Amino acid sequence: MNALATLPLDPQTLRADFPILATTIHDNVPLVYLDNAATTQRPRQVIQTIVDTYERRYANVHRGIHWLSDQSTDLFEEAREGVRAFINAPAREEVIFTHGTTESINLVARSWGDANVRAGDEIVLTVMEHHSNLVPWQQLAARTGCTLRHIPITDDGELILDEFDKLLSPRTRLVALASVSNVLGTINPVEEIVRRAHSAGALVLVDAAQSAAHMPTDVQRWNADFVAFSGHKMLAPSGVGVLWGRRELLDAMPPFLGGGSMIRRVKVDSFEPADLPAKFEAGTPPIVPAIGLGAAIDYINAVGLANIHAYEDVLTRRAHTVLAEVGGVRIVGPALEKKAGIVSFTVEGVHAHDVAQLLDRQGIAVRAGHHCTMPLHKRLGITATARASFYFYNTLDEINLLGRALADAKHVFRRR
């Protein structure tokens, strides 16, 4: 049996769908794209859907009484249905198109938060959160006088659930956490967190930005109350994201932004909000990005999330092996069986930005810095990490190249 036959998917065949992956950069070195946690690339199928829509079926949605608007509206609403099925949401109306995870979380913090959170109430977060899931709650705390609490992590980057239990109180209104950390790669035990939070009477918001494209999202199995994610991290155009929320919560929440589409009736001094999902989609929505998200979901479904997850595990294991061989590399995050395809690391004696720059010279794109998680880096006692993050179109050869390029980078610094 050849090695490929043992892999859960064939990356070479899939790569052919991604024109950008054939790019050569600098002095004709092949691009090795390992920055998928920042944003993924787009396959031809998604690009073609965008082109087809603009060329043949584009108009504003839910507005015109004309053929083209109907066409565009149909595509937009089919995309919403695609998202609903993808996350196993009970109803299409619970799927709100936003501009990304950041906006989705801000929507909940503003709309649900301002209506439900009072001085003395508590919101529980984790220290591994992206700034998008910290700052909106800090702003809510400034507006309402509520208190923020943070689930601590072990040195390996896992949530300490016993400490979580101690943070829960009758004043806890909401627990907000990432399903997968964008730095540690930790896969958090969402179902268990939801169970414990609900027993304490608190709601749960899941930031699924780093898991939606990599492992199945089942909002009913999670039993979560809100789930947020971004299209651009799952093969879709940037500018579209999703907020899913339980219908009864969304129904009771006031609108976030005001404007066109989100109203049923307007007088000079008052308005009546529209039903879901329009209530939370003020103004012209990200029409083509949402339609592109529908195509991206079709593509991901065809590859299969179980295959994607299993294949990323193969890549991540190889990455851990090659980085260990370099020597002087510290990987932050939990054991392999508890992490997704994200490997953040420091290299002894070399700043993360220099690591990224030296890798870039060899065509390898990784991200370096605090990755919008300053509190996490403070907890880890470091200011910056370099991060390699994978998707199904990456190959084992690319991971081997990362190891060799890192070894070279270390030599360069030893000589200085």
Q: Report if residue 106 touches ligand C6P, rule: CB under 6 A.
A: no
Binding marks (x or -) toward ligand C6P, 119..158, rule CB under 6 A? -----------x-xx-------------------------
Using CA atoms, how far residue 244 sits from 89, 101, 124, 173, 315, in Å, is: 8, 11, 20, 18, 31
CA 63 to chain centre: 31
Stretch that binds ligand C6P, among 8-16, 40-48, 74-82, 203-211 (CB under 6 A): 203-211
Q: Report if residue 207 touches ligand C6P, rule: CB under 6 A.
A: yes
Q: Would residue 239 be called left, alpha or beta, if left means φ above 0 and alpha means ψ between -120 and 50 degrees? A: left
Helix (H, G, I), strand (E, B) or coil at 235: coil
Stretch that binds ligand C6P, among 96-104, 165-173, 193-201, 321-329 (CB under 6 A): 96-104
Supply the minimum distance, in Å, between the C-beta of residue 100 and ligand C6P: 3
Q: Let me know: does 90 contact 247? Beta carbons within 8 Å.
A: yes
Catalytic residue among 31, 127, 365, 372: 372
- Nearest to ligand C6P of 274, 294 (CB atom): 294
Amino acid making up residue 375: P
As given in the structure block, the two tokens for residue 49 are 């859907």
Using CA atoms, how far residue 308 sits from 183, 313, 316, 339, 397, in Å, is: 19, 9, 12, 14, 17
DSSP 279: G
Q: Let me know: does 390 contact 315? Beta carbons within 8 Å.
A: yes
Q: Report if residue 372 touches ligand C6P, rule: CB under 6 A.
A: yes
How many Cβ atoms sit within 10 Å of the Cβ of residue 129? 24
Supply the minimum distance, in Å, between the C-beta of residue 411 and ligand C6P: 28
Using CA atoms, how far residue 204 sits from 177, 255, 286, in Å, is: 8, 20, 27
Stretch that binds ligand C6P, among 85-93, 100-108, 114-122, 242-250 (CB under 6 A): 100-108
Supply the minimum distance, in Å, between the C-beta of residue 289 and ligand C6P: 12
Q: Report if residue 102 touches ligand C6P, rule: CB under 6 A.
A: yes
- Contacting ligand C6P (CB under 6 A), which of 214, 371, 377, 410? 371
Supply the minimum distance, in Å, between the C-beta of residue 275 and ligand C6P: 26
Active site residue 372: yes
Q: Report if residue 25 touches ligand C6P, rule: CB under 6 A.
A: no
- Closest alpha carbon to 149 in 131, 170, 130, 176: 176
Q: Report if residue 342 touches ligand C6P, rule: CB under 6 A.
A: no
- Nearest to ligand C6P of 178, 291 (CB atom): 178
Residues classed as catalytic: 372
Query: Which spans of this chain sit near ligand C6P (rule: CB under 6 A)?
Result: 37-38, 100-102, 130, 132-133, 178, 182, 207, 209-210, 230, 232, 367, 371-372
